[in-house]
Amino acid sequence: MSAPTAETSSPWKRYVTPFNVVAAAIIAVGIPVTVVRFTMGLGACTNLTDNNPWGLWIGFDVLVGVALAAGGYVTSCAVYVFGMKKYHPIVRPAVLTGFLGYVLVAVGLLFDIGRSWRLPYPFIMSQGWTSVMFEVAACVALYLTVLFLEFLPVPLEWLRFRKLRNFLVALTIPLTIAGVILSTLHQSSLGALFVIAPGKLHPLWYSPYLAVFFFVSSIVAGLSMVIFESGLSHRVFRDKLDPDHPVDHDGLTLGLAKASALVLFAYFGMKIIGLAHGNHWRLLNTGYGYWFLAEAIGFVLLPCILFTSAVRRRNATLARFAAALAVIGIIVNRLNVSIIAFNWQLPPEERYFPHWMEFAVTITLVTIGVLAFIWIVEHMPVLREHPEYKGAH
């Protein structure tokens, strides 16, 4: 057999990149860990206990994942409800990010639930109408369906299913309104889950208004994630953009930065009000207090100032840096509430720290989400209009 020529082997060379090699290594570790999880149970691959029944897979995969996927409802609401048509070019990437984020949230729940096959059980056998957890599960499931329907016109254009695509596009506004309502419910309810644990969550993070904090911070997360994702996509997928209809990405970024600054300012004020409401000023001079100040000042107030400065200076690069800082801040906040400041009163030996397999699963899920995003953007009309549907959105 003759050796393959350069011409026959070259199509595979473009897949051998540093990113793909690292992604393949991560997935190669994640697959056997997944097998261990679903054949040997939670005890074999997590450090969860009766004191700490929720860990990294809830704190990051669910709480952080849901927050960072909020860009879908934020941008759709801005464009289709409030009529801000100039942001239309970033709607599809934002909806795609939101859809993939919620899919990974659902997959993360499969890992976290002991009997994963019973995930739909509450909807079929025993509806807990008065349970906050049931409300979260119902809204997440419904909103995942809404996101799927909102994104479905993209693959339908790719597959040339014109009639079904046109039917779904006609439902854009009702779907957007339904998505905003459902997002308002479950984004806030995720915070309400911790309202029932005042003795376990550190007083600096506990507040009866946690539901409001989670909802407002989800808007921050959505706006910041759209800025970060659109800037990265514009750089990486430059060849996928429509050269005939150039988009002022810097202008869109600065517009989103202005909204982010306003919401962050309100969120910072709410955190101070929550601190005053609990009269926990003396706790600021403790280890947890210093960490609380680092979160509030370094990841809320500082991005707010940077966003404001970026808008005044017309500096889109600074706005993207502020967005990345704000995204990190949302991650820090959700992990503080769910892990770091939770069960803070327990002795160190009883505190929870994730097993390495928990990290492996989380990193694998994020990697799969990034790979799915790349494949869809490269093959479907996400960053540019389909030639057969110019101006038809």
SS3 201: strand
Q: How many domains, the chain?
A: 1
- Please tell me the predicted confidence (pLDDT) of residue 2: 46
- Please tell me the predicted confidence (pLDDT) of residue 243: 65
Residue 301 DSSP label: I
In 3D space, the residue among 204, 212, 216 whose CA is nearest the CA of residue 277 turns out to be 204
Structural domain that includes position 262:
50-385
CA distance 341 to 201: 6
SS3 316: helix
Question: Which pair of tokens denotes residue 24?
Answer: 């393949």
In a domain, 148, yes or no: yes
- Please tell me the predicted confidence (pLDDT) of residue 89: 87
CA distance 375 to 199: 46
Residue 286 DSSP label: S
In a domain, 103, yes or no: yes
Long-range contacts of 194-202 (CB under 8 A, 24+ apart): 194/337, 194/338, 194/342, 196/132, 197/342, 199/345, 200/342, 200/343, 200/344, 200/345, 201/337, 201/341, 201/342, 201/344, 202/288, 202/341, 202/342, 202/344
Q: What is the pLDDT along the chain (393 residues), one digit of tens a residue?
A: 444 444 444 566 777 888 889 999 999 999 999 999 999 999 999 999 988 889 999 999 999 999 999 999 999 999 999 989 899 889 999 999 999 999 999 999 999 988 888 888 777 776 667 777 888 888 888 999 999 999 999 999 999 899 999 999 999 999 999 999 999 988 999 999 999 888 899 999 999 999 999 999 999 999 999 999 888 888 888 777 766 666 788 899 999 999 999 999 999 999 999 999 889 999 999 999 999 999 999 999 999 999 999 999 999 999 999 999 999 999 999 999 999 999 999 998 889 999 999 999 999 999 999 999 999 998 898 888 777 766 655
pTM of the model: 0.90
Give the CATH number for residue 110.
1.20.1630.10
In a domain, 363, yes or no: yes
CA angle 195, 208, 69 (to 5 degrees): 65
Residues in the chain: 393
In a domain, 115, yes or no: yes
Residue 89 DSSP label: G
In a domain, 121, yes or no: yes
- Please tell me the predicted confidence (pLDDT) of residue 386: 73
Question: Which pair of tokens denotes residue 172?
Answer: 């854009």
In a domain, 292, yes or no: yes
In a domain, 42, yes or no: no
